[in-house]
Amino acid sequence: MHKIIIFLMCVCCQSLFAADDNWDDDWENGFNDQPVIPEIIYPDWFKNSFLELSDDIQEAVDAGKKGIIVYFGQKHCAYCQALIDKDFGQKDIETYTRQNFDVIPINIWGSNEVVTLDGQVMTEREFALRENANFTPSLIFYNAQGQKALMLRGFYPPYKFRAAMEYVERGYYKEESFRDYMFRANPPPKFEISDMNAEDFFMPPPYALDRSRFRAQEPLLVFFEQQDCHACDVLHSEPLEFEETKKLLSHFEIVQLDMNSDTPVITPEGLRMTAKQWAAKLNLFYAPTLIAFDERGHEIIRIDSVAHVYRLKSVLEFIVKKTYVTTPDFMSWRFDSIFGGKKLPPHVAADADKMGDTPQGSSN
């Protein structure tokens, strides 16, 4: 009986991918991730919350829902606009979300007070920092008991966003990681379909990346990709062809790995394993994922969601300029560079727009 149940779950998961006929590949190829103007307006069904999250969960449960989604965003973020247009803009996703969750918007630069689920009182910005919401949009799914079931950082195409909601709503997070769930839903091809995208800056094997005993001269950037990967193809077009990005990449040692392969690797911390085992250890569920390590082999930051020119360039600058040494948190660095470290004044939310003021040049 147990095997039959698992089989049925996999069939159900695969339907998420087969049903995604409305995804616009042309949009993804032409996506401009610079700050958008005018500012983003929330869907009118987002909850107008007093930001007392325990009350929000209780109200969601009383309405027959499975929990809440805390949405971390900012006014002029192109990825936030993509989430609203391309994910929540799908009628089936909107319906599924509204049936099962209340969405609570948080302005990552805001000064409004939040009462968190562990009873602490802090500003929206402090809450975003605590939850490591480095990239907007970030979403935390909380279940009916107030437990964190899943966190997504960044924008994901509709098929993966649907899968994330089902993963939480059906309680699969109690049994397996999101990576394992996605692997069942969309297993890698059994036979080679196409080669991965090659770049001149990729180091050839063998991949002896150990930095634990001897300090390297440059930071390391690992591209975890897979075959037959449209999102990987997009990354290797405009984002990696941008001239400023190429200059920044010249300051790294760079490796490309097939995250489903048995390619032998010595990791930056000196462990011997395959690329597939390393990807599992790092709990990777999205291709491409880019992870940067410092000269000692410590992870600096990762991008494991859709990333185009503006976001990729900002992350590379954060590393190359060694800003992470004094300001380890990427979001804090963006706050300091935008606001000069000044404390934002309290902001009273409007009905249709509950985000605090952000300058039009705000970061994604």
Q: Which residues pair with residue 334 across a beta bridge? A: none
DSSP 131: T
Per-residue pLDDT at 26: 63
Rounded percentage of the chain residues whose pLDDT exceeds 70:
82
How much of the chain is helix, strand and coil, in % rounded to 5? 35, 20, 45
Per-residue pLDDT at 34: 87
pLDDT, greater one: 216 or 348: 216
Predicted confidence (pLDDT) at residue 257 exceeds the cutoff of 90:
yes
**Global confidence as pTM:** 0.85
Q: Which helix (H) or strand (E) holds 264?
A: strand 264-266
Rounded percentage of the chain residues whose pLDDT exceeds 90:
71
What are the tens digits of pLDDT across the range 332-347? 887 777 655 555 444 3
pLDDT band of residue 331 (cuts 50, 70, 90) is confident
Q: How many of the other CB atoms lie within 10 Å of CB of 11?
A: 10
Per-residue pLDDT at 92: 96
- Read out DSSP for 139-188? EEEEETTS-EEEEEES---HHHHHHHHHHHHTTGGGTS-HHHHHHHHSPP
DSSP 212: S
Per-residue pLDDT at 333: 86
Rounded CA-CA distance 307/318 in Å is 15
What are the tens digits of pLDDT across the range 51-85? 999 999 999 999 999 999 999 999 889 999 999 99
Structural domains of the chain, ranges and CATH numbers in brackets: 2-185 (3.40.30.10), 207-338 (3.40.30.10)
What are the tens digits of pLDDT across the range 204-245? 999 999 999 999 999 999 999 998 888 999 999 989 999 999
Per-residue pLDDT at 344: 44
**Which residues lie closer than 8 Å to 102 by C-beta, 6 or more apart?**
47, 49, 56, 59, 60, 63, 65, 68, 69
pLDDT band of residue 131 (cuts 50, 70, 90) is very high
Tell me the average pLDDT across 235-264.
95
Instruction: Round the average pLDDT of the chain to a whole number and report it.
Output: 86
What are the tens digits of pLDDT across the range 349-362? 333 333 333 333 33
Predicted confidence (pLDDT) at residue 190 exceeds the cutoff of 80:
no
Phi and psi of 272, rounded to 5°? -95, 125
